[in-house]
């Protein structure tokens, strides 16, 4: 159970490094190979997760595991550089600590990035996708258990989980940079293995456009506590049936890094144009 009181030790440490007047309007989660975006955060303070009581530690290469506080294009932000995953053994409380910390710090919006594989040939490595919906193929929910009503009601809708207004603003920011921002449905799987050919065929039949091993639990917790959510995926590979190269985590990081410049430019333009509206 993660109640409001559980965050007091974490806040005590955080406010030793930033003023209690610092109120981020947006939280950002950075996925595999996408950490360089934090280089654009000004007046930044970086706190490793292990220094903040209660925060889980990521064991995955490419997920640094630090909280970065500062300003992106003049807008106060709280950035989670690195995340945890079910396949690491993370449970519901681990996801709750990370997402609800952003809420407690004052965030009203949550902008999530991830590295994903594409099931659509026209959306290849290096492309950017704004997620418009998801299918939970992880078949678990971090909110199972006692409901912490101080954060949200037990039963909550998901028909507008992916905020349309934020998604359209990301697309307009992309247009300003001549970067195409596709739309698609995200399929969240458990991992850590990549998908079998039969699973890929099944996912396509279900309407999945891109696949990853994260994001869904974060979105569920964010929606539960009233955060506006937008998810931007960097495509790192086509599914196994559309290429001959064996798929590895190293390839995910390689193409994630290739897409990171495009993603960095997109986020900077988004905050330049719309940051004051978050």
Residue 32 a catalytic site member: yes
CB of 87 closer than 8 Å to CB of 140? no
Give me the catalytic one of 10, 26, 58, 63: 63
Give me the catalytic one of 114, 132, 237, 239: 237
Residue 186 a catalytic site member: no
Give me the catalytic one of 130, 213, 234, 259: 213
CB of 213 closer than 8 Å to CB of 191? yes
Residue 63 a catalytic site member: yes
Give me the catalytic one of 32, 58, 118, 163: 32
Give me the catalytic one of 114, 182, 249, 260: 249
- Annotate 176-203 with DSSP letters as a single string: HHT--EEEEEEEE---SSPPPHHHHHHH
Give me the catalytic one of 214, 233, 239, 260: 214
Residue 224 a catalytic site member: no
Residue 109 a catalytic site member: no
- Annotate 116-162 with DSSP letters as a single string: EEESSTTS-TT-EEEEEEEEE-S---TT-SS--TTT--SS---TT-S
Give me the catalytic one of 44, 64, 88, 242: 88
Residue 237 a catalytic site member: yes
Give me the catalytic one of 6, 85, 182, 257: 85
Give me the catalytic one of 26, 97, 115, 259: 115
**Backbone dihedral region of 20: left (phi > 0), alpha (psi from -120 to 50 degrees) or beta?**
alpha
CB of 23 closer than 8 Å to CB of 106? yes
β-bridge pairing 228-238 and 109-118: parallel
Residue 163 a catalytic site member: no
The burial class, CB within 10 Å (0-12 / 13-18 / 19+), for 48 is: middle
CB of 235 closer than 8 Å to CB of 116? yes
SS3 label, residue 215: coil
| Catalytic residue ranges | 32, 63, 85, 87-88, 115, 213-214, 237, 249
């Amino acid at each position: 159970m993660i109640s409001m009181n559980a965050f007091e030790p974490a806040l005590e440490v955080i406010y030793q490094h930033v003023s209690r007047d610092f109120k981020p309007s947006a939280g950002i989660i950075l996925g595999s190979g996408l950490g360089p975006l934090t280089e654009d955060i000004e007046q930044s303070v970086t706190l490793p997760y292990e220094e903040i009581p209660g925060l889980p530690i990521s064991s995955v290469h490419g997920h640094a595991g630090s909280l970065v506080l500062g300003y992106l294009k003049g807008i106060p932000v709280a950035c989670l550089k690195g995340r945890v995953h079910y396949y690491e053994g993370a449970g519901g409380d681990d996801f709750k600590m990370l997402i609800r910390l952003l809420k407690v710090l004052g965030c009203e919006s949550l902008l999530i990035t991830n590295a994903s594989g594409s099931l659509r040939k026209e959306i290849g490595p290096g492309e950017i996708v704004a997620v418009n919906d998801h299918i939970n193929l992880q078949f678990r929910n971090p909110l199972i258990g006692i409901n912490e009503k101080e954060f949200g009601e037990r039963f909550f809708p998901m028909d507008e989980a992916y905020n349309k207004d934020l998604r359209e603003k990301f697309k307009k920011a992309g247009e300003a940079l001549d970067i195409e921002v596709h739309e698609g449905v995200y399929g969240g799987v458990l991992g850590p293995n990549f998908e079998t050919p039969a699973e890929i065929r099944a996912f396509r039949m279900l309407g999945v456009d891109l696949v990853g091993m994260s994001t869904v639990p974060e979105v569920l917790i964010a929606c539960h506590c009233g955060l506006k959510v937008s998810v931007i995926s960097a495509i790192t590979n086509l599914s196994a049936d559309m290429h001959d190269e064996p798929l590895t985590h190293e390839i995910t990081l390689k193409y994630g890094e290739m897409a990171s410049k495009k993603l960095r430019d997109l986020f900077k333009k988004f905050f330049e144009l719309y940051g004051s509206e978050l």
